[in-house]
Structure 1
């Protein structure tokens, strides 16, 4: 089963080399067909130049520039329309996600034949390194609200780092979120449409370079919109969008 990794990247020239190297090193000795698909979201720094040089070294690396519209959700959507694998993970360009966790996600999907594998940083075995305290408080409140509204047990919906089979991605289209709210749209749609999933622990490490692109003050209403959309679909769509078994 070929694995694709979609990585949205905006002004990540300082981080992207280590991210690509880390993924390639982790998979180099494994019999897994890997595609690393970086979507440059019209960066204003020299990210494209860095990626061009990296492509000469790493045969698994592919990149394209999303000319627009731009935004975190648009960049991921661009990649999810163009990846070549049988399954696809969304990872960040800032070194926050662990390649070793990705291997665990992949092996779990293959062994259990799950449609999705979700990580949680907040279950036994999960790990946070240098997580900003205010961001953590907001994160836990947001996930508590999501769990209550959607009546689910999963406690880390907001993290983008997840693995989906191609059939799952196709089954939860079209995507509505142009920004970071896509992180909750993908798993919530997969859950309410009946795709199988399991949850495994994963780690998160704060970025070494640059600054976070997530602006919490700008995202509240956008997260709320997607949450309400998924709530309405779950309780009022009469199963019209359910997975066809």
Structure 2
């Protein structure tokens, strides 16, 4: 939309490099990218993606449909020119599977007078803009054409290169509240609302257990049945009590009644134990349940129904809605949970109330995609929560929270070291901010 004429090349180069950088956060080198009806070549050129291509029109012919399914669809300003946005988005479903993400770049109506000046001064060609629409308009068009907005971000306060000034405005100020109201570009991530092709899927429930000997048998007894081939994976990690012996005893006791896999983690931390458990999992849906039973196993069917019925693609528990049992969470832990939820809502452009709840659910397919590109954020999360949250946000997954009742422990002591781990969490927030928000 901006800088469509070649005589704006230096500014065009800077603008499209910025836009490509923001899109590259989501778009992986191993997945196919399709830009629909591009107005120029610049975005794909600076995206530099080995599997990127463009198509010029929709709808596709019948013999093209299967060949053209793609992981990412990029719309760079297209919707400003479409006479019928609803019909365009409906036809776009031809390119999509349930896992496809549609990246919609559109422009802030506050900049409309400046676009007219840019046209008058020759920095852009005369283009027949028909539509200036808001985020709520896009949400409504998506609803009508069977899409859902997963997240949205605001970018670029200065579309031309001015040494130091452009860097300060676009990297550090544009993402901040108030400043982002005046940004030029909106980037919305849409997911097609296509049904999951699951027929009564089964689950792999992973439990990381450290010094939890008194809870192991209760986990097995209370675990509800969800699919026909559910499995429970118990991973012991560096316990000082007889947790490992209890895990082996319970596996032998319930053999033939409950499919139990057991392992000892190779490293340290809950995240390492969960990754070990997920590596052993074979079912369609992966679940994490904390061994302390502060979240009831009986709540897991709520998570199961949410992911099976496509309410979300990453389901996160929230302990901060219902009243907690006395002594379930200490005061400073509660404050920390609320603060980190606010921080991650800002960073990931999706709403969170509780990022640290141990109960989390994701499909095995999406987890494998997430794990394939784990190196983007690094491997220093001992908890495992943020590895999954960051990775899900980068995949453009729809994240949904399910409120759960949080109970006090009935056995053992907490493994949480709130001060030292709190400082580590702050470090992770800052690291994520530079990888996700301030880029």
Number of aligned residues: 229
- Distance in 2 between residues matched to 1:139 and 1:178, nearest whole Å: 16
* Equivalent residue number for residue 221 of structure 2: 21
* Partner deviation per Cα, 1:5-58 (whole Å, 9 max, x = no partner): 1111111111222122211xx32xx55421110111132321121111111233
2:435 aligned residue (211, 216, 233): 233
1:53 aligned residue (214, 233, 249): 249
- Distance in 2 between residues matched to 1:57 and 1:50, nearest whole Å: 10
SS at match of 1:195: coil
Q: Is the 8 A contact 2:347 2:437 kept in 1?
A: no
Q: Is the 8 A contact 2:289 2:297 kept in 1?
A: no
> Residues 198 and 151 from structure 1, CA distance in 2 versus in 1: closer, same or farther, beyond 3 angstroms?
closer
- Distance in 1 between residues matched to 2:260 and 2:220, nearest whole Å: 8
1:39 aligned residue (235, 242, 252): 235
Q: CA deviation at 1:158?
A: 1.4
Q: What residue ranges of structure 1 are gaps of 5+ in the alignment?
A: 238-245
In terms of Rg, which structure is larger?
Answer: 2
Two-structure CA RMSD over aligned residues (Å): 2.1
- Distance in 1 between residues matched to 2:233 and 2:336, nearest whole Å: 30
Greater relative contact order (Cα < 8 A, sep 6+): 1
Q: What residue ranges of structure 2 are gaps of 5+ in the alignment?
A: 1-200
1:133 aligned onto 2:331: yes
Q: How does 1:54-69 map to 2 (within 5 A)?
A: 54-58=250-254, 59-66=258-265, 68-69=266-267
* Partner deviation per Cα, 1:55-96 (whole Å, 9 max, x = no partner): 123332211112x32222211121122212211111111111
> What is the TM-score with the length of structure 1 in the denominator?
0.84
> What is the TM-score with the length of structure 2 in the denominator?
0.49
* Partner deviation per Cα, 1:163-194 (whole Å, 9 max, x = no partner): 000122112222723522x2123123202320
